[in-house]
Structure 1
Amino acid sequence: MDRTLPKKKWNSKKITTIAGITALVVLITGSIYFTSGKSKLNVDSERITVSEISKGKFQEFIPVNGIVMPLTTIYLDAAEGGRVEEKYVEDGAMMKKGEPVMRLSNTDLELSLANQETAVFDVLTQMQNTRNNAQQNTVSKLNQLADVDNGLQEAERKYVMNKKLFEQRIIGSQEFKSSENEYKYQVRKKKLSERILSQDSVSVRQQLKQMNESYDRMSNALQLMKKKVGDLIVRAPVDGQLTSMDAEIGQNKNKGERLGQIDVLSGFKVRADIDEHYITRIFPGLTGDFQLGEKQYKLHIKKVFTQVTNGRFQVDMEFVGKAPGNIRRGQTLQVRLALGDETTALLLARGGFYQQTGGNWIFKVSNDGKTAFKVDIQLGRQNPDYYEILNGLKPGDKVITSSYETFGDVQELILKR
């Protein structure tokens, strides 16, 4: 006999349907939650760096590498080209002014010197001959003038005497006129002789003057040539240490080629390379400091070289006060170069967070230390240790300064211990 069975309220089909609906609701809810800007991420607090915002002294500076150099360096260049024949000293030697460093040889230059000496000797010989000829010519002209004076005196005597005799009618007019003409002729002859002698003297003086000037020019050229030959022996221009010597016996050196340098050991300076990004902010007078041993030393910029090479430019810095006693040429110093005066500011320790945020926001830790959330910030100046905070944080706030690379786009961090 058939009987009616009671209907089941929870069959497998119904359970499956309800489970599917529930899962869909959970999925939709989770999607809405995670896309609503309130995503969270669990973070191990031991794997992050938390820094506290503080108020203190801030100075903008950049780290630069400086090389210790002598305060004054004199370069040794080849004044004349030639072959290196002899080296008197080696690199690193202490030199006195005028001491020889090396000797070069230049056959063409030495031959030119010999030719110049010969030319000067020829001019000098010609001058002596000209002077002797002029003296002989002058003596001859003076003898002629003496003869003219004697003839004039005799003609004048006859003229005066015949004039008296003619007035007394003792002699005739013909004899008187003859003596008068002779006298006038001797007067003109003397004037002409004196004029010739004067012109000849002027001509000789001009000729000798020109030859003297020519001799002086050639003598000066000879002295210059001797100096050029003398420059084949390279000498120390000042007292100091010979460094960077680049010459070997038998090597040919061109005119103007660098042979070495003399470092004047009266003091030291520091030459630093700086990124061209800062070229508009670097000027003489800026100060820097460095640590050597347990003591701090200060420097100031003396000169700025504005030429940019491979994205960098150079500055020369001098010590403020006494330089360290144990400092050496070529030593590298880590210098902190200040770009401004020291001021009071809110300080944020530098960290890897900046790579992901660009300094526009940061994760701020809650008061209970269990969570961290995004806050917008504004940064100002910076140095290798700190950022200057202009807005968004206050003293005592704690923020995460380590890298955010693994955080993705989450808005809140759950800090687990």
Structure 2
Amino acid sequence: MDIVRNDIKKKKRRNRIIVGSSAVIVFGFAAWWLMGLDVSTPTVEEERVWLGDVEQGEMMREARGIGTLVPEDLRWIASETSGRVERIIVRPGAWVEPETPIMELSNPTLEQQALDARLAFEAAEADYLTYDVQLQSNILQLQANLAQLEAQQKEAALDAEIDTELNKEGLVSNLQMRRSLLRHEQLTTRLDIERQRLEFSQNNLDTQLSARKASVNQAKARFDLLQDQFDGLTVVAGVAGVLQKQTVEEGMQVGIGQNLSQVADPKNLKAVVRIAEINAKDLMIGLTAIVDTRNGKVRGKISRVDPNVENGTVAVDIRFIDPLPDGARPDLTVEGVVEFERLANVVKVKRPASSRPESQMTIFKLSADSDIALRVPITYGKASVSQIEVVEGLNPGDRVVLSDMSDWDDHDRIRIQ
């Protein structure tokens, strides 16, 4: 016969009550915890954001740009004539003097033209000398004729004087006397004419030679031009320095005026740095700049500001005050920082992503003693490379999010854990 045990039923009932009560308590606590959370606030891991503190103090306003070292004295060597590159004598990297031959060109047509021009010049010069000798010979002949006439004129004067005296004594007829006087007059007239001819020939000797001289000068000018072009087939450096570039190779055909090589003085370099156009209004000649050559930093001053904007940047030339470190050479990539001004006792923060000077934007500011960051409006002032002035909206000691928060543009608060 079975015996009913009431104590077992009571124990099972008590266990069910305990389990049910525990479940109610757990579910109630979970509900209470969830109700305390703001499910609309997104959570961002602290490792994914860049945080910074607002500070107050001095700020150097500056602009940064990338550029290269460029020789102050740079010379392109251009071809003086067309031709074919026969031989390259010096390669880039070698030191050259002004008369150092760099390459040799060939142009058979030019060689023949130079030879013909030399022969034509020599022929014109010989013709000029021959004509000059002929004119001098003519002058000598005139002088000889003049001397002969002077002798004849003196003889006729003497005869006329004698015949005149003898006629007075009745020893010579009047006819003979008149003949002597007439001959004397004729010879005197011829003597005057010959003297004028000699003077005219002497005075106009240069005029008579000028036409031949012009032909000589014309032939010489053509010869000099072609000879210079012929000499230009041997390309020389022209200046002392290091051969930087060569744009041709052996066997290539080049034209007149084509750039062949580049020579520069590596000891006299400047930095050409490109600064963002937003800072163009502040760029002035004489501003101090620091150039980082990756082997040391060198101070300099802006010597030129390009008036044109290219690809959103403005080129500035920086002339160095301090000596360049070892290893500095043309076309070396450098980073330049131009110093505009020092701002004293300003509220500043490390420059957030997408921040613009003299603008109004919003930024996430962390609440004190909380992991919640609220979006607050702020007004920026002047900006530097790594810092920006805060005119309104933040106070020294505030902690803000500096990284790009465009993914949370639809939220005014976030939780940072």
Write the mapping of 1:361-380 to structure 2, written as runs, cut at 5 A.
361-369=362-370, 371-380=372-381
* Residues 40 and 412, structure 1, Cα contact 8 Å, conserved in 2: no
Write the mapping of 1:263-282 to structure 2, written as runs, cut at 5 A.
263-282=264-283
**Aligned counterparts of 1:234 and 1:64: Cα–Cα separation in 2:** 38
Task: Write out per-residue CA displacement over residues 67-111 of structure 1, whole angstroms, 9 at most, x where no aligned residue.
Answer: 123332221111222111122122222212211011112223222
**Aligned counterparts of 1:216 and 1:65: Cα–Cα separation in 2:** 56
**Aligned counterparts of 1:119 and 1:306: Cα–Cα separation in 2:** 53
SS of corresponding position for 2:319: strand
Task: Write out per-residue CA displacement over residues 101-145 of structure 1, whole angstroms, 9 at most, x where no aligned residue.
Answer: 111122232222222212211222212221232233223323322
**Aligned counterparts of 2:50 and 2:333: Cα–Cα separation in 1:** 33
**Aligned counterparts of 2:42 and 2:133: Cα–Cα separation in 1:** 117
Q: What TM-score results when the alignment is normalised by the length of structure 1?
A: 0.81
* Corresponding residue of 1:26: none
The one-letter code matched in structure 2 to 1:361 is T
The one-letter code matched in structure 1 to 2:320 is F
* Corresponding residue of 2:148: 147
Write the mapping of 1:197-346 to structure 2, written as runs, cut at 5 A.
197-291=198-292, 295-346=296-347
* Corresponding residue of 2:168: 167
Gapped regions of structure 1 (runs ≥ 5)? 1-37
SS of corresponding position for 1:326: coil
* Residues 246 and 260, structure 2, Cα contact 8 Å, conserved in 1: yes
Gapped regions of structure 2 (runs ≥ 5)? 1-37
**Aligned counterparts of 2:96 and 2:323: Cα–Cα separation in 1:** 25
Write the mapping of 1:386-397 to structure 2, written as runs, cut at 5 A.
386-397=387-398
Task: Write out per-residue CA displacement over residues 311-351 of structure 1, whole angstroms, 9 at most, x where no aligned residue.
Answer: 44422222221111232333212222233345442112223
* 2:405 counterpart of 1:404: yes
**Aligned counterparts of 2:400 and 2:212: Cα–Cα separation in 1:** 94
> Structure 1 residues 48, 133: CA separation in 2 closer, same or farther (over 3 Å shift)?
closer
The one-letter code matched in structure 2 to 1:367 is A
> Structure 1 residues 404, 83: CA separation in 2 closer, same or farther (over 3 Å shift)?
closer
* Corresponding residue of 1:137: 138
The one-letter code matched in structure 2 to 1:41 is T
SS of corresponding position for 2:341: coil
Write the mapping of 1:81-92 to structure 2, written as runs, cut at 5 A.
81-92=82-93
**Aligned counterparts of 2:250 and 2:361: Cα–Cα separation in 1:** 65
* Corresponding residue of 1:41: 41
**Aligned counterparts of 2:416 and 2:311: Cα–Cα separation in 1:** 48
The one-letter code matched in structure 1 to 2:71 is P
Deviation at residue 184 of structure 1 after TM alignment: 0.9
* Residues 63 and 275, structure 2, Cα contact 8 Å, conserved in 1: no
* Residues 353 and 401, structure 1, Cα contact 8 Å, conserved in 2: no
Task: Write out per-residue CA displacement over residues 286-305 of structure 1, whole angstroms, 9 at most, x where no aligned residue.
Answer: 23224456853323222233
* Corresponding residue of 1:187: 188
**Aligned counterparts of 1:403 and 1:133: Cα–Cα separation in 2:** 98
The one-letter code matched in structure 2 to 1:78 is S
The one-letter code matched in structure 1 to 2:338 is L
* Corresponding residue of 2:81: 80
The one-letter code matched in structure 1 to 2:351 is R
**Count of aligned residue pairs for this structure pair:** 377
**Aligned counterparts of 1:412 and 1:247: Cα–Cα separation in 2:** 64
* Residues 63 and 279, structure 2, Cα contact 8 Å, conserved in 1: no
| Greater shift in the superposed pair: 112-121 or 40-49 | 40-49
> Structure 1 residues 209, 348: CA separation in 2 closer, same or farther (over 3 Å shift)?
same
Deviation at residue 389 of structure 1 after TM alignment: 0.7
* Corresponding residue of 2:124: 123
